[in-house]
Amino acid sequence: MASTSDNTVQNRLVTVSEKLQIPNNTLQITLVRLDQLRNEPDVNEDRLDDTAAAALALSAREDGLPVRDKEIANVWTETLDSPEAEIAISSQQLEAVSDYFDIAEVPPHPISLVQRFGEAVDMPEELITVAHRLLQDAFSLDPTVVAGGPSPAATAGGVLSLSALVNGLGDSYEQSTLGKVSGTSEVTVQNRCRDLQDLLDDRLQSDRYRVVPASKAPDEPADNQQSGDGATGQQSSADSTSTGQCSTSQSSTGQSSDQQTAADGAGSADTGTESDADADSAAEDDQDTGAVLETVRSIYPDELPTTTNVAEAHDTSESAAADALEALAADGEIQRKRAGSVDVWIPAGQDSVGSALTVDAVETEIDALVEELDIGSSTRLLARGMVSDAVDGADVEEAAELAATTVVAAARMGDGDIDTVDVARHREFDPRVISQWLDTLDDAVDADIPRRDAEDIVEDVVAELGLSESILAESHRSLERYDGDEEFTAAELGAGAVLFAATIGQTQVDIDRLAALSGAEASYITSAMHGIVVSLCLALVRGDIDYEDCNWTTELLQSELSPTIGDSSTGRAIAVAKAYTAGREGHHIDETTLDVLLSE
């Protein structure tokens, strides 16, 4: 019940997570939340262990892990020094901790989701029990696969589908039905089923996953059932050969499930034609801009008015709503802002959006990015956990940049490797924006976000490109001597140093490959290299570095190479260095003279 220090509680959290096979991403978001709790004035420090255990239970539920609250409490109790101390996780504690983290409601336990969804489709208890076994065994084999699903509901639907399939009952419990019951979709259930099937692989042939006796299975045609010892396992195995694959199937519309929407909560495709027709009809109706204006004012500031929620309020199409909103913006009644990947419409006179709405915009953008990048829900939750600390001073129009940054940070904290260039490509900004926002995020969030400095970039790209030791050494040496005023990111500067060293070493480097490896745009890498050239040339003529210590003077200053490097300002710096080294008389050039020589 009591803890002597925050660090001790944090150590216990790590120990409990290791014992229970809690994935690192789940642990990381709990650590972030524990840091948030330290700033809550009404958190009882004497019960910080109880609160931290409840926070871990919440994170496990959000990731769909079949770890019972009591297991967490029991293992946590074992870590306490006092033999009389005991941890208990109650529903009241879960609700209280949820309130601290602004979680609308306590997430249902994954085990209860499996039970609920199974009962909702009238699945017999024996099949539901098999689903529980499949989920538990998958967790034991690789917890990250279980945690990596889009949602606990999707995992529950997938494990129920797999339970039916390995028993030859896939037609009785279709993935489209389980998608509706779980609030996800046929494709989502199918994908989760396939993930679990690939993980369990040959183990699925075990009788542990067979419904015994077969008579307790749902009613099926007589020729599909067999009885007798061992017959159930053989029949199920045979059936699984033909129907037991979590593969793409034809839907009732005649389209493959890959052609249907994969978004959670998507409905059946059967009514798509009617819905489209209704939307087209509604789009033809002119919208009363006055009514739309009132809607925007009524939505704001409780929510961010978007084209979608305005259209829903007027029961019309988004194109019709957009026309009315754009007309209002043209009249100066509202202002249009780009919040990530969506337009938001703010009433005129509201110059700034409240931080709560900015948080909503960033979190919505995080959800969209995670889906587009196809990364796990743990990363999404960890990214969302950083938002409230990071939005201070941010504008809603920076939602995309901040969302991308938190996703990159969350992936790195979870030992994942995510390419900033790839993330930025999903939105309309340069990768360097993410690097710059990472600096802000690092200061705002009380968590260790793994970062690569320029020296790390050099080591990584030289190794990946198979460049020589001399290029590696020259890259590091140029970084040490660089003293420019330009604000380059670590990725740009490190890659620029490698490009400089390769250029004077007359080694061809694929700039696009270099950009991909470093996470910097090719144009900025080139600019960084030019900055390094200018900095080295000026350091030479000022006497900050000795001519004899420069391995690049011959290649750069006394060859045909120099005219091909940089713009006019770079050329002037090279020209000054050439003039200086022509006599090498040791007469260094002062700053005033340099300013004159380098001026236009």
Secondary structure (H, E, C), 532-597: HHHHHHHHHHHCCCCHHHCCCHHHHHCCCCHHHCCCHHHHHHHHHHHHHHHHCCCCCCCHHHHHHH
Q: Residue 131's pLDDT is what?
A: 94
- 221 CB-side CA count, 13 A: 4
Other Cβ atoms within 10 Å of 254 Cβ, number: 8
Mean pLDDT of 326-355: 80
Tell me which of 422 and 529 has the higher pLDDT: 529
Tokens 């950083």 -> residue: 386
Find where tokens 């085990």 sit: 111
> Does residue 253 register a pLDDT over 70?
no
Place of tokens 């008389």: 585
User: What length does the chain have?
Assistant: 600
What is the separation, in whole angstroms, between the first and last Cα of the chain? 72
> Range with the lowest mean pLDDT among 13-27, 183-197, 429-443, 520-534?
429-443
Is the entire prediction scored with pTM above 0.95? Answer: no
* Contact present, 382 and 412 (Cβ < 8 Å): no
Alpha carbon separation from 341 to 115, 433, 558 (Å, rounded):
37, 16, 51
pLDDT digits (tens, 9 = 90+) for 287-326: 578 899 989 888 887 788 888 888 888 888 888 888 889 8
Decide if pLDDT at 556 tops 80: no
Side-chain half-sphere CA neighbours of 510 within 13 A: 7
**pLDDT given at position 285:** 42
What is the rounded average pLDDT of the residues 100-122?
A: 89
495 with 520: CB under 8 angstroms? yes
pLDDT score, position 491: 87
Question: 69-73, 93-97, 596-600: which range is least confident on average?
Answer: 596-600
d(CA 406, CA 560) in angstroms, rounded, equals: 46
Helix (H) or strand (E) segment spanning residue 356: helix 355-373
Q: What one-character-per-residue DSSP string does 410-468 give? A: HHHHTT----HHHHHHTTTS-HHHHHHHHHHHHHHSSS------HHHHHHHHHHHHT--
At 72, the pLDDT band (50, 70, 90 cuts) reads: very high
Give the confidence band of 111 by pLDDT, cuts at 50, 70, 90.
Answer: very high
Which tokens hold the place of 2?
């009591």
Distances (CA, A) of 534 to 155, 528, 544, 553, 578: 56, 10, 13, 13, 12
Q: Would you place residue 562 in the very low, low, confident or very high pLDDT band (cuts 50, 70, 90)?
A: low
Could you tell me which residue, 245 or 17, shows the higher pLDDT?
A: 17
Q: What is the pLDDT of residue 388?
A: 77
The mean of the pLDDT values for the chain is: 78
% of the chain exceeding 70 in pLDDT:
77
Mean pLDDT of 502-516: 87
pLDDT over 70 at 121, yes or no:
yes
As a whole-number percent, the residues of the chain with pLDDT over 90 amount to: 25
156: confidence class by pLDDT, cuts 50, 70, 90: very high
Residue at token pair 């529980």: 132
d(Cα 575, Cα 563) in Å, to the nearest integer? 10
- Three-class SS string for 35-68? HHHHCCCCCCHHHHHHHHHHHHHHHHHHCCCCCC
Residue 92 pLDDT class (50, 70, 90 cuts):
confident
Q: Please report the pLDDT score of residue 555 as a whole number.
A: 63
What's the confidence (pLDDT) of residue 220? 35
User: Cα separations (Å) of 381 from 49, 410, 509?
Assistant: 22, 9, 39
With a cut of 60, say whether residue 283 has pLDDT above it: no
Q: Is the pLDDT of residue 2 over 90?
A: no
The token pair that represents 140 in the structure block: 């034991």
Summarised one tens digit per residue, pLDDT across range 157-205 is: 999 999 999 999 989 999 989 999 999 888 889 989 999 999 999 999 9
Q: Is the pLDDT of residue 250 over 60?
A: no
**Residue 260: its pLDDT value, please?**
38
Q: How far apart are CA 413 and CA 25, in angstroms?
A: 7
HSE-CB at 65 with a 13 A cutoff on CA atoms is 31
d(Cα 66, Cα 114) in Å, to the nearest integer?
Answer: 10
Q: Report, as an integer, the average pLDDT of 118-125.
A: 93
Q: Print burial letters for 208-237: b (CB count within 10 Å at least 16), e (below 16).
A: ebbbbebeebeeeeeeeeeeeeeebbebbb
Contact 576, 597 (CB under 8 A): yes
**Mean pLDDT across 43-65:** 86
Q: What is the pLDDT of residue 118?
A: 93
DSSP 3-state of 172: coil
Amino acid 594: pLDDT: 59
CB atoms within 10 A of CB 298: 11
